Amino acid sequence: DTEVTQTPKHLVMGMTNKKSLKCEQHMGHRAMYWYKQKAKKPPELMFVYSYEKLSINESVPSRFSPECPNSSLLNLHLHALQPEDSALYLCASSQSPFVTTANYGYTFGSGTRLTVV
């Protein structure tokens, strides 16, 4: 299995809703990432999990809450979002969280298209 699977593919939520995005990989990767991508922009890093522990939070608002229940699963809990949070949310994983020559780059999921109304 060489894929990162994200569900759901599309999500529409109101500003008072609570929802969760799910990401799963079975490649034995020890680092997992959440990226946010607005239209016609590059992906921007939100969170990094290394060995199931949060290692980087790029000053993301608290209405986004990540969770890593185990080494294969990464969730992003959403609460009280704003319309400007509408974007493509990408999950990625890598063999190692460190910059090494053995690191083969990121494997990305196909993303969740989130619309906040």
Contact residues: another protein, CB under 8 A: 4, 6, 31, 40-43, 45, 48, 50, 55-56, 88, 90, 92, 94, 96-99, 101, 103-111, 113
Q: Considering the complex, what minimum distance in angstroms separates the CB of residue 42 from another protein?
A: 4
Q: 38 CB contacts (<8 Å, ≥6 apart)?
A: 44, 87, 88
Output DSSP code: residue 25. E
Cis geometry, peptide bond prior to residue 8 (ω within 30 degrees of 0) = yes
Which CB, 55 or 82, lies closer to another protein? 55
Q: Considering the complex, what minimum distance in angstroms separates the CB of residue 31 from another protein?
A: 8
- Residue for token digits 């529409």? 12
Q: Considering the complex, what minimum distance in angstroms separates the CB of residue 108 from another protein?
A: 4
Cα–Cα dist 42/50, whole Å: 23
Which CB, 22 or 79, lies closer to another protein? 22
- DSSP, collapsed to helix, strand or coil, labels residue 85 as helix
Which CB, 16 or 59, lies closer to another protein? 59
